[in-house]
Chains A and B, each alone.
Chain A
């Protein structure tokens, strides 16, 4: 047997030991009490779940309650009998609380259930053994009652250097561990060997105080006899050497870092009682149903140690130890230093009860009145944690919690050494407990306030979205009855709307959102850390959820930002490529735009990190590129006007119109922004701004129409009868489309709300009770109807108009494209939801049960059909565009038709421009709906815009291509 080196710890006290009196008598075995009261929460963590009902008969060792989550334990019947009640009973708790208890009326037979020992524990996997220990209800019996299997699992975080068995038993009066070692030496050593097999530590050390010579001798003899590698470390008697942290310091010289666990420095501590319980369960198959408890104190005539069944009422034990009721003044569960007083002797013995101290008035007199602290520093000399108790008292009294925390209040182990030595009889520990709980309470209320804030913000966003939707509907109604005056060109404010502006605005907003999200995340993480430190189990879960949610939010926002930045490029590219047709010119312009964007990006980065030479170089090179590209562009620009001379007349007109439209749109945007701001601050001008918005919108619509109209007039100057028809049809189609969009938005909203409800953990019934499913169905119906209408309308529009076949086709194509985009968005959404579900840890079955996979499949199907359709159509489109070619050739030959051909291409171009404009408007209305916090909406919006831009680009390219052909 090796002897271990002993270190020492700061402070400590030597209170009178008072251990002799309970060691006079041999181990007692009290009779069965009238009833056994088994609290469901005898351990740290979640209370167990009862498995039995009132009236059930149980056998000794039968499981009567199972674990309720990870940090929980099993509970077994200590004897055979019937469950007489499952009700609230007084439990052993410092606050004298009641808790749910299973009450068993013993039948006196004490019949064991069939025991299933785990003889082959060496062959079984570690996990199986741990699970077995969990089922046997083994928890730490030193005082905290930490479920042993959880502790052993945690011990594998780091390679273990020391496995310490705590036999110090430093509290005065208590001799339960001493007696346990004497009585069950072999069981203890076997239990240690099992645990060592499970944790594989480098050193196994039993730490025991030198005031237990008999136990030390017994252990020594057995260890030598078995040639065990277990070391025996006899430490000097000093309170609180049995504290986990202090024993670790005594035996290893290491300190457990503040806020961490022994496992973090490769140390595991187990109480001797736990080791014996492990032995009993593995070798004998006996669950934890009894324990050694010291009955001591002057009020007992026969103080002694007893092996007592869990659930035995203290009163029964007091009777057994022959208590003198008239002498009993204070009844303490645990030792005189860290135990707590009991209100009544009706409370039961639980897995962690190591001592019942029935003290007389002389033995534990009432504390002397508190005097002023004279800062004598005796507490400081006694503190085993090297704190400054006198300063902590000052801060606790004056409620300076920050200062108290700074002086490491939370490193106080509440051992009571400071109070013991205090000459002024100040209940220091009580002050510290109070301060600690006040600080914890403050932290908790902070968390709650944050939650409330989040809820409030979500609610506000929802209300905003609803208001916006209403507004959009109203606008749509207005749009449905537009003024027919075609050439109404109101003078728009002379302002040039930068096309990049909305996107950069978006970016800015996103960045702000990200910053907010990140700060929130940081805060939450900090709170989580604190909660973990303070071991607030219930808070930890909630906070974890919040943190992951927030992380997700930030991630999605960042993703969006990443998307927006490239989106800025195409947005500028088409703008640049709008007017001229020449491919080269376009290319040059795109180059310029691209380089400009890149330059801007790099410059921004440079702003953030001004010292980055690499970035500076990049800027320089980009600038050079830009100037080059601009030079090329200007060269090309000089050559094109000559070539494009014939187109100039019409395109000039169109350009003007377009500019007007752009200006009007910019105005709309501006007003909308103002509206949003006003809504945010609840400004009274809100109605006025809304009015303005409508006007602006109307103006934009008019202009758009004007844009369309010249097209048709230009395309068919002769067929005026048809023209009006087309116009009407186009109007109707537009109306339908708007309706469609609204309906879809409604569906989305309803779905979202349902999803939200689900996330909030409402069950199905509640969701059904809410109005949303109803709304969803309604909206879906409406959508279906509209789509049908749209389909029927589409042929109608194409049928009577023979000549403008191309525009009609373009319309259809556009529709398909939109459908395609919607389908794609749908797929993406479904996928996203599925991943979300997965992240939330729902298992496959649940995900399958949810509607999303179904939706995904549907959307994919739809996409496939649409794409097919699209392919077929583009074919027909090319055929159709090919058809007019001979005519055009004829016209060309006649040399009158040249403008006409140009007009045809221009028509298409205008269509595209109109589509883009529409997309822009759609986007705006959507944004109006969306709340600023709502990531999903913005994402979709950007997605759709990009889609449309790409479409437009594609069409544009196609057109230029076909034009080149002609």
Chain B
């Protein structure tokens, strides 16, 4: 009888492994995926499949090169989660090579080259997204227009989606249309009221479709909160700060800015708040740090949306705050038991 010799503790919470965490996050995106597919056709699902295959392939390749246990690491579902997050973030009829480039960059460069899971300083999905957004601006801005398609029942069929993604859909321009954020960005000299009444992307049908998408991701996010996979700090701080920014500037200049509701329900606001900013590896770790981190992302999102060169700013906002996360962590340590106040910074040698 050989007795096992290990140190305490001897038990572990059953079931809640890292793979389970990843799976739950993937599952929480399902409402969003369903709404997106319903509104924009098969393209999202096809993107997801391409993204997942690319992710698993590149992850396996790099693991093999690094001489790591391929099966063991693939089973943690982290690569799949990156692929899913990227897949839903990309436009539905983006060419396949854009998806492959984005996912490949995310897995190989943003994740594995930093040492794999847990060691990446930046959110891999957002690195991939930012790369293709900067490199291929045209396909990245071709979102399908929803209202026409739904109204006329003229959705892209599965085959049409495949054709658009893998080949070239000659009539694709007929289906595409700017997102509300893109539309509002390019309202040029029009004031807000005129823009919302004239620009097609800012019509009720388009706005509502994006509202549905955001609500779906909000539902998924709430599920994650309920499962205690994420804490409320980051999403609440992000959404609250975005709301405050939008309100303040809307009150100052109602003619050139959009309403807070518009900002919270278009683009990747909810998706970013619950699925991107909460990536634990690259975000802040203490509760106070998460509040600062989320608020910082929201401020950057609003700045990029309002005055930046891109219609949405979630990817850049998250990446920029990833830079700041370690610093924020040093200054937001919780007060430890038995200490009068929390320690800040890194004052080595003068500990109490």
Contacts and interface: CB of A to CB of B under 8 A. Distances in A.
Given A371-B76, A402-B349, A421-B16, A340 B3 contact: no
A390 B7 contact: no
B152 interface: no
A376 B17 CA distance: 11
Prevailing SS type, chain A contact patch: loop
A255 B339 CA distance: 8
Interface in B321-352: 329, 333-340, 343, 346-349, 351-352
B116 interface: yes
Given A377-B285, A391-B329, A423-B17, A364 B11 contact: yes
B221 to A, nearest CB: 16
Interface in B202-228: 228
Interface string A251-280: 000011111100000000000000000000
Interface in A400-421: 402-403, 405-408, 411, 414, 416, 419-421
A421 B15 CA distance: 10
B4 A411 contact: no
A234 interface: no
A341 B17 contact: no
A17 to B, nearest CB: 11
B21 interface: yes
A364 B336 contact: no
A889 to B, nearest CB: 82
Nearest to B69: A369
B286 A337 contact: no
A740 B79 CA distance: 91
B68 to A, nearest CB: 11
Contacts of B352: 258
Contacts of B119: 372
Contacts, number: 180
B20 interface: yes
Given A376-B280, A406-B346, A96 B76 contact: no
A287 interface: no
B220 to A, nearest CB: 17
A425 B17 contact: yes
A337 B11 contact: yes
B259 interface: no
Contacts of B30: none
B23 to A, nearest CB: 11
B99 to A, nearest CB: 25
B17 A416 contact: no
Nearest to B347: A406
A416 B9 CA distance: 5
Nearest to B2: A329
A702 interface: no
B6 A341 contact: yes
A475 B111 CA distance: 79
B7 A94 contact: yes
A385 interface: yes
Given A245-B337, A258-B336, A339-B10, A388 B4 contact: no
27 contacts: A9-B337, A258-B336, A259-B338, A330-B4, A336-B9, A337-B10, A337-B11, A339-B10, A341-B4, A344-B3, A364-B11, A366-B4, A372-B118, A372-B119, A374-B118, A374-B280, A385-B338, A386-B335, A386-B337, A403-B346, A406-B351, A407-B333, A411-B336, A419-B9, A419-B12, A424-B18, A429-B8
Interface of B: 1, 3-13, 16-18, 20-21, 72, 76, 78, 116-119, 228-229, 231, 280-281, 283, 285-287, 329, 333-340, 343, 346-349, 351-352
The 5 closest A-B pairs by CB, nearest first: A416-B9, A372-B118, A258-B338, A385-B337, A408-B336
Interface of A: 9-10, 13, 15-16, 94, 96, 172, 245, 249, 255-260, 325-326, 328-332, 334, 336-344, 357, 359, 364, 366-369, 371-378, 380-381, 384-388, 390-391, 402-403, 405-408, 411, 414, 416, 419-425, 427, 429-430, 433
Given A364-B11, A380-B285, A427-B7, 4 more contacts: A15-B13, A391-B285, A427-B6, A429-B9
